[in-house]
Amino acid sequence: MVGKSTGGPMVEVSGLSGAAIRQYAESVFNVPEYRSIRATIDSGVKVDRFVELLGGRIMIDDTPRARLSVATRGDFVIRIPASSHPLYQRQLIAHELGHYFLHYLYPRRQGQLEACFTGTPEPAEIEANRYAMSLLVPTEDYRQASRDARKALEARASWNLVGSPPTPSDINYLAAIYLQVPFHMVEGILQLFPDMGGVDEV
């Protein structure tokens, strides 16, 4: 249903590979004005701040599905269902940013664009999801989170609260909490990009 429900212009796939999408998403962290959106000890990647810096606006309301409405470059609205869990809201915001970057800025489109979250395996949706995972679980921040998670879990083991050393899954689960993303996003990106390293490298 990408774009169809409003009669707006259709979303067209970027055709970028998964690795290229990840590189594109992570490239924002090298732009000085966006560096402040990086994950910190008390927060995951600050997607709401990123939207603001890009000139967009987030509306959390009674929309049944997340959607993106672009008026023009630097002027867009992302609507998010208030009924969604905040972790999932972050994922939806990042997904709609995926449409904005991959299907509007990257192809240098002009004029309006409408996209809505369908949760279906259409190519444009898969691209937006890959962008979202890459933005919310950037390589450097993931490595830091998994190092912190391992340290915390090893300390737990040494206090004899739990006898066994942490498994990679334990570490990734806690890293997902640190990054404020659903666990499946960490699992998903590691499946796509095992070279992200993390728990085996720390």
Interactions with Zn ion, residue window 150-169 (CB under 5 A): none
- Is residue 39 close enough to count as binding Zn ion by CB under 5 A? no
- Is residue 104 close enough to count as binding Zn ion by CB under 5 A? no
Query: Within a 10 A sphere around the Cβ of 15, how many other Cβ atoms?
Result: 11
- Is residue 117 close enough to count as binding Zn ion by CB under 5 A? yes
| Region of 32-40, 119-127, 131-139, 166-174 interacting with Zn ion (CB under 5 A) | 119-127
How far apart CA 146 and CA 201 sit, in angstroms, is 10
| Region of 18-26, 111-119, 166-174, 184-192 interacting with Zn ion (CB under 5 A) | 111-119
- Is residue 149 close enough to count as binding Zn ion by CB under 5 A? no
Closest C-alpha to 98, from 33, 22, 8? 22
Residue 8 DSSP class: -
| Residue 129 vs 144, nearer CB to Zn ion | 129
How far apart CA 124 and CA 7 sit, in angstroms, is 17
Closest C-alpha to 51, from 11, 90, 109? 90
How far apart CA 83 and CA 157 sit, in angstroms, is 37
| Residue 104 vs 117, nearer CB to Zn ion | 117
- Is residue 76 close enough to count as binding Zn ion by CB under 5 A? no
What does residue 61 show for φ and ψ, rounded to 5 degrees? -145, -155
| Region of 38-46, 112-120, 130-138, 191-199 interacting with Zn ion (CB under 5 A) | 112-120
- Is residue 128 close enough to count as binding Zn ion by CB under 5 A? yes
| Residue 50 vs 117, nearer CB to Zn ion | 117
Q: Which residues are within 8 A (CB) of 148 and not within 5 positions of it... i.e. 6 or more apart?
A: 41, 175, 178
Supply the minimum distance, in Å, between the C-beta of residue 21 and Zn ion: 14
- Is residue 193 close enough to count as binding Zn ion by CB under 5 A? no
Task: Enumerate binding residues for Zn ion (CB under 5 A).
Answer: 117, 125, 128
